[in-house]
A = this chain, B = another copy of it.
């Protein structure tokens, strides 16, 4: 007789198996999975929580988005090293009673559907994981990737005088979250900010381009917001930074639609979940950085020897950059 847990595992494995893809020496189903590493490559390892109530709201976030995003955001950490994702471990806790509010067989199907799309899109296949029963949906994802030896771009490589860049426009995902929380339906229409919040695309190809050509001296992904993440890069590199508020690429809102006077600059500074890249470039290489396949690359400031974080406002006045992004241990947001 098969246990309920074994049955759930089989359902997951079936939903996430692609007949045309066999990158693993041994896939799910044994005590552990086996990966045959490529000669000349290093293995990249990263894990992320994705918890109901903390990282997503079952009533607001479609199951399909939960599936996509839990994998995409862990993949973003592999991308931020300049690497290629290979496989992932899915750790899933679900309510045991199908009548529970946040979970149903239908929820699971849609969740696995979103996860499958991300898995296929980013060529990152299921290797294994663990399932258990819990009153709320808990997800933890480990992604394993690879990068050519000594080509990984770390947070610690920034030097004084180098230019600070970001990809894309910042704050869009946070705006999408605010629209969702104000009652905008996740399904209705194709609001680009809600889409960015629900289905973030990790910048895999861009990061590999920056790493392969040795254009970036340091790099990380923007998951918690520029004002929280830039200090982390600077701390790892033992440097400071001066950035210009007027240079930070914000989202654009038609004035007639900006009824609530959305502060796009504050969103760009403090909004999380964009999964854009933050990286540094030697000034001599800056001319080679116009854009990458339609993704704008914008210089927002420079690295300084003084270990302070300075934000130069629109009127030219400097102040200390205050971390205003996502911190799960902060008492209030």
How many monomers of this protein are in the complex?
2
Chain A positions 123 through 162: 1 when the CB is less than 8 Å from some CB of chain B, otherwise 0: 0000111111110001010101101010010111000000
Quick check: A81 and B34 within 8 Å, CB to CB? Answer: yes
B contact residues around A154 at 8 Å (CB):
26, 30
What distance in Å separates the Cβ of A46 from its nearest Cβ neighbour in chain B?
Answer: 4
Interface-facing stretch out of A191-199, A311-319, A325-333: A325-333
Chain A positions 16 through 60: 1 when the CB is less than 8 Å from some CB of chain B, otherwise 0: 000000000110011111111101011111111101001100000
Residue A262, interface by CB 8 Å: no
Quick check: B142 and A142 within 8 Å, CB to CB? Answer: yes
B contact residues around A129 at 8 Å (CB):
47
B contact residues around A89 at 8 Å (CB):
45-47, 142
Residue A12, interface by CB 8 Å: no
Query: What is the size category of the interface that chain A forms with chain B?
Result: 35 or more
Residue A93, interface by CB 8 Å: yes
Task: Report how far A203 CA is from B321 CA in the complex, Å.
Answer: 52
Quick check: B44 and A32 within 8 Å, CB to CB? Answer: yes
Residue A220, interface by CB 8 Å: yes
Interface-facing stretch out of A2-10, A176-184, A250-258, A286-294: A2-10
Task: Report how far A228 CA is from B5 CA in the complex, Å.
Answer: 11
B contact residues around A219 at 8 Å (CB):
31
Quick check: A140 and B39 within 8 Å, CB to CB? Answer: no
What distance in Å separates the Cβ of A310 from its nearest Cβ neighbour in chain B?
Answer: 14
Quick check: B3 and A32 within 8 Å, CB to CB? Answer: no
Task: Report how far A239 CA is from B87 CA in the complex, Å.
Answer: 30
Task: Report how far A140 CA is from B51 CA in the complex, Å.
Answer: 12
Known: A3-B330, A45-B128. A32 touches B91 (CB 8 A): no
Known: A8-B329, A142-B89. A37 touches B43 (CB 8 A): yes
Known: A140-B140, A142-B89. A30 touches B236 (CB 8 A): yes
Known: A34-B44, A35-B42, A43-B43. A5 touches B328 (CB 8 A): yes
Quick check: B36 and A149 within 8 Å, CB to CB? Answer: yes
- Interface, chain A (partner B; CB < 8 A): 1, 3-6, 8, 25-26, 29-37, 39, 41-49, 51, 54-55, 77-78, 80-81, 83, 87, 89, 91, 93, 96, 127-134, 138, 140, 142, 144-145, 147, 149, 152, 154-156, 219-221, 228, 231-232, 236, 322-323, 327-331
